[in-house]
Each structure stands twice: as C-alpha cells, then as structure tokens.
Amino acid sequence: MVLSETAERITSMEIRGAGRIARAAVEALKEYSEGLDSPDLTAYKKSMQEAADTLLATRPTAVSLPNAIHYTLASLKAADSLPAARAALRERADEFIRSSLHAIEWIAEIGARHISDGDVLLTHCNSQAALACIIEAHRQGKEIEVYATEVRPRGQGLLTLQALDQAGIRTNYIIDSAVRHFMNEIDLVIVGADAVTVNGAVVNKIGTAPIALAANEARTNVIVAAETYKFAPLTILGDLIEIEERSGSEVLSEEIAARFRHVTIRNPVFDVTPASYIDLIITEKGALPPGLAYVIIRDYLGWSIEEFSKPHGLDDRNTD
C-alpha cells in the first residue's frame, strides 16, 4: 500500500527534507483516496483522517507535514457527496505539490539577490531551498565559494556536495565542529528550516544553532530559506515543537554501544536557533525579518483560531 510505504520511508529518512516529506505525504493521501472503497462520505472522511494520522506520526518536528495535510484535508469541508470529496482532495493535493515545487523557484530568485559576487557562503544539511538560492546566484554569473558541513550522524552533507559539484560551484567540505574555525572566512550563512515559530525562531538540523551562534559572534549574517508551509501555527498558542530524537545506533553501532554499560547515546535530530541570531527569512512570498513570522501564519497558511485545538481533524468543528 502506497500510504504505509510512504510512512515507512519518511520514518526511516529514506524520504528526507521538509519539502520532500510534505509532497510525498500529500501524494500518498491522494493515491489512498483514489483507491479507497468507502460506502458514504462520512466513512470516507473517517478513513482519510486515519490515513492522515498515520502520516502525521512519522516525523513530529517537520511542521511542513501537518501544514500540508491540513491544507489537503481542508478541501473536504465543503464537499456534499463522496465523488465531490474525492475530486476536491485530488485537486487540492495536485495544487499543493505544484505550488510547493514552484516555491523553491521563487525562493531561489529572491535569495540569490542577497548573495553578492565574490561571497563565501556556508550551508548546513541538505536544504533544497537554501541550495536553490546558492545555485541560482551561481547561474547568474556570481563568483561564489561554499563551505558545506558533514552533518553528523547521517551525513546529509554528501548530498549537498553532489548538488553543488554538479552545478560547478567551488565547495569546501568540513566537519561540523570546524565551523567556528572557518567562520571568519564566511560572508553569509544560508540554511533551510524544518519549522519556523511565531516569534521567528527556527528549528533545523542539529548543529544549526551553534553555527548561528558562531556567525553572530563573527558578525556574519544568517539567512534562512523556508517555504511558508514550514511556519508553525500552533506556536501562536505557546505550543512547543517536539524535537525528534532518533536511535543511538545512528551514532554508534549496536555492537560498539554494547561494550559500554553506563553510557546512553543521545541523538536529537534538530535544534532551535533563536530569532536574534537570524537576519532574514526568505520565503516564496518575499523576505522578512524573523519578527514578522506571524504574518505568514496569519495571512498565508489559512489557519483559523478555532482549528488550533484540533488542527488536523475532520470532526464537526472542522466540517461545518
């Protein structure tokens, strides 16, 4: 079944990156809907909500996932028949996937304006949005050089190296802990985001926060490239974004770990960078300072205050 396979691939990080996760989840919902044999509209909505819950459980930190699912399932509110509901979900899913892919193009265009000829950049993890800005600046003829981090423990930096090398961009590959050593050579840090809170703090791959701290100390600007669906509506009410912690076997093999009786391996996947360390957030709607993050949630994500108590559900409160 496509739904369960997609959920497993997201959980195992075979599908990684907030944008890719969101698009894969929406595509899985669409395919699940097409193959669903429901007797009536009520049963259909119930099954779709159960499918959504399966996907939502896979990666708790990436708010692109609940935002994408909320946007897709919201299409069912006005449906008055099973065929109409299925058609509405199909149309909304296709619309999300198209707009998500176009968002990267728009972010690249806006982000490239903030990269100057001769800049030395640093990027962390494998953000499609951040890489798009860098590659677009290079395509425009700007002479740039990039420092790319290793990104322990999964090594996503290798994917970044591949993308930059294919684009013909001169790149230095460094271990995560060498960032402070090289920071004085960096003109601009540009990273992606898995979530942006209402106060402009950014949740991103573990290691982003110390990079931003080092940049702040060195007076190096930090830009975050993030699609609007990565902004976290529930943080308006003070909810905290859950920081996913994965198996210690990603850090040390079980065989090696078994040698140590009193050691616990901690493996958080993300950290939180305060808004005070971020100079600008680039979205497909434009560039804004972190302090205006609430504008994106209010004006572009389509969440209403009534939905915050149960943001993904299709119960009576959300289907009137």
Q: pLDDT truncated to tens, each residue of the chain (320 aa)?
A: 689 999 999 988 888 877 889 999 999 999 999 999 999 999 999 999 999 999 998 987 778 888 899 889 999 988 999 999 999 999 999 999 998 889 999 999 999 999 999 999 999 999 999 999 999 999 999 999 999 999 999 999 999 999 999 999 999 999 999 999 999 999 999 999 999 999 999 999 999 999 999 999 999 999 999 999 899 887 876 677 889 999 999 999 999 999 999 999 999 999 999 999 999 999 999 999 999 998 888 787 655 545 544 444 454 433 33
The CATH class, in words, for 114-299 is: alpha beta
Query: Which residues does the annotation mark as catalytic?
Result: 125, 194
pLDDT score of 316? 41
- Evaluate whether 227 touches 19 at the Cβ level (below 8 Å): yes
The boundaries of every CATH 3.40.50.10470 domain in the chain are: 114-299
CATH 1.20.120.420 matches 2-105+305-319: yes
**How distant is the alpha carbon of residue 310 from its chain centre?**
21
**How distant is the alpha carbon of residue 41 from its chain centre?**
32
Whole-prediction pTM: 0.80
Alpha-carbon gap, residue 285 to 153, rounded angstroms? 33
Alpha-carbon gap, residue 194 to 201, rounded angstroms? 11
Alpha-carbon gap, residue 105 to 99, rounded angstroms? 10
pLDDT score of 312? 43
Alpha-carbon gap, residue 125 to 194, rounded angstroms? 11
pLDDT score of 298? 79
pLDDT score of 303? 54
CA nearest 53: which of 70, 39, 38? 70
C-alpha angle 63-32-315 in degrees, rounded to nearest 5: 60
The boundaries of every CATH 1.20.120.420 domain in the chain are: 2-105+305-319
